[in-house]
Chain A
Amino acid sequence: MENRRKKQSRLRDIWRQLKKSKLSVVALIVLCLIILVAILAPVLAPYHYAQQNAKLKNAPPSAQHLLGNDRLGRDILSRLIWGSRQSLQMGVLAVAIAAVVGILIGSVAGYYGGWVDNLSMRLLDIYQAIPMFLLSVSLAAIMGPSLKNAIIALGVGTVPGYARIMRASVLTVREKEYVEASRAINASNARIIFKHIVPNAIGPLIVQITMGVGSCILAGSALSYIGLGAQPPIPEWGAMIADARGVMRQYPTHALYPGICVMISVLACNLLGDGLRDALDPRLKN
């Protein structure tokens, strides 16, 4: 009870700090809007993403098709709206995989220390010796091109960062009195880790997670661009850019719009991450 109240007041505190930065608030609103668009895509999109219209190939914007039509005569706006689903999934699910695995590895390594710590850190060394994007591309290519595989590849590729931050954070929390206290009353290790250590050590990860969503959207769009993400006709922003490559000369806007969508989403994540970092550590601002 006491713990929960403390957590709530801490959240309120972060929010109070975050509110001070207008950019962060705007970023948060933009992110919420993108999420809303993704959820409501079937309602919001004027057409189905795969609906082709042979008469309207590469048609300019019109009242019926606000952003025009692509090379197969599909409504670009609708495809952008539907595409938000794939891009967001890539960002959120990949980070979820990475964060969960990373938190597990990091907290176990940090909590137990000794050879467990040593072994997991050496394994992470191996992991991180492969450049992250190369690793993700290789994984995605080996598993075969699909949205699911791209998400797994991105998630697996970014685990080490989360694990290391978590471990460092756990190392400082581990020595705190309340952990000592629960050890003294003979609480199980699992209980100590999940009840006391993880919730208290997770702070530094929040920023990493927020920015991670952005960088996974970015890397995900790159995977889709080289054909390793969402498969046609399902729209994804990176894949839409790849699709528009052929008509780049005559219709540059076809590639322009999806790129702007990626940029705005990633920018919002980065701004919110920056804001959260300042809110969590107000010292940095002055």
Chain B
Amino acid sequence: MADTLLDIRNLAVQYQTDDATIYAVNNINLAIRQGETIGIVGETGAGKTTIAKSIMRILPNPQGKIVSGEIRFKDQNLLDLPEKEMQKVRGNQIAMIFQDPMTALNPIETVGYQIAEAIRRHNKITQAEADRRACDMLETVGIPMDRFGEYPHQFSGGMKQRVVIAMALACNPELLLADEPTTALDVTIQAQVLDMMRSLKEKFKTSVMLITHDLGVVAEFCETVAVTYSGEIVERGTVEHIFDNPQHPYTLGLFGSLPKLDTKDRRLKPIKGMMPDPTNLPIGCRFRDRCPDAIEACAAAPPDVETEPGHIVKCVRAKEKGGAAV
């Protein structure tokens, strides 16, 4: 596809600890088109953040290792780039927003400096010019620029996240990886930050990969969705596909565990059991033990099945229902 911005193929990432190997991401395929907003949904430990950090190549060193696959960004494989070249991509073409604004800012530098630093790194301009642009960025995210010289501890959580967003967007990146940008914030602030991100995304025409476990946020914010489970993408498609016609039992389970206002059901339906231990993954379908519809065929690795154009489900039973294997 010509307008594909980022194309992840067969990505596998492992973490090495003292006594075990954690299989965090296992052969993931994912593409992001120019201007698209994709939501990555899944519970804690499903490998969402690892995907984002792999794209940025900022996995914890030396524990985290990309063992296979490629990440093509505009026709170059990021994994082949030398570190020096990768530094030019980071923060410039691809930027990232982190989960916890409380700890994401350096406590002993002014917020202005931290934004201007990113700008100077990627543009040949004077310090004064960088400072001016950093001020503009602050205003853009709704912070008066006279707070340029203040330190992170003088800001509230929501304001800090605005600073982090300003920093990420400072060089007008083509792709923004937002790792649960609102999870650590109060509900009212969450809405504000999301609104702001939406308008900035439209203003800067940035593609966004939004990592979240909040289906509500996805419905509101994203065009396409990928559902992750145990280091795999189990279902992907447009928001309509996923919300109106979920196919994978895990996706169905996710919706079942949300409270609904329009039905009489008093009880939520939690998914039984736990995600498999990432150091000791089962062969075959990873959701099998928790799946209400599991059959014997699930003991083998499940195929990717296209149930409707652009809607892909990693489940052998979707094939039974008439989908075509991809």
A and B touch in the complex (CB under 8 A): yes
* A→B interface (CB under 8 Å): 20, 285-286
Q: Decide yes or no whether B220 CB sits under 8 A from chain A.
A: no
**When chains A and B are docked, how far (Å) is the Cα of A60 from the Cα of B60?**
57
Interface CB pairs A-B, < 8 A, 5:
A20-B18, A285-B18, A286-B17, A286-B60, A286-B63
Chain B residues with Cβ below 8 Å from A20 are 18
Interface size on B, residues (CB 8 A): 4
Chain B residue at minimum C-beta to C-beta distance from A286: B63
Shortest Cβ distance from A21 into chain B, in angstroms? 10
Chain A proximity mask over B51-75: 1 for CB below 8 Å, otherwise 0:
0000000001001000000000000
Q: Which residues of A sit under 8 angstroms from B18, Cβ to Cβ?
A: 20, 285
B interface: dominant SS: loop
Distance between A218 CB and nearest chain B CB, rounded to angstroms: 32
Report the Cα distance A20→B18, complex, angstroms. 9
B binding-site residues for A, Cβ under 8 Å: 17-18, 60, 63
Considering the complex, give the chain A residue whose CB is closest to the CB of B18.
A20
Measured CB to CB, the nearest residue on chain A to B63 is A286
Select from chain B the residue with minimum beta-carbon distance to A20.
Answer: B18
Bound-state Cα–Cα, A7 to B60, Å: 34
Give the residues in chain A near B17, CB-CB below 8 Å.
286
Q: In the complex, what residues of B have CB within 8 A of residue A286's CB?
A: 17, 60, 63
Interfacial chain B residues near A285, Cβ < 8 Å: 18
- The smallest beta-carbon distance between A216 and chain B, in angstroms, is 33
**Nearest chain A CB to B123's CB is how many angstroms away?**
36
Q: How far is the CB of B262 from chain A (nearest CB, A)?
A: 40
CA distance A285 to B60 in the complex (A): 13
Interface centre among B17, B18, B60 (most CB of A within 10 A): B18
Closest to A282 in B: B18
CA A286 to CA B22, docked complex, whole Å? 14
Q: How far is the CB of A189 from chain B (nearest CB, A)?
A: 37
Q: Which residue of A lies closest to B60 (CB)?
A: A286
| CA–CA, A286 and B20, complex, Å | 13
When chains A and B are docked, how far (Å) is the Cα of A20 from the Cα of B60?
A: 22
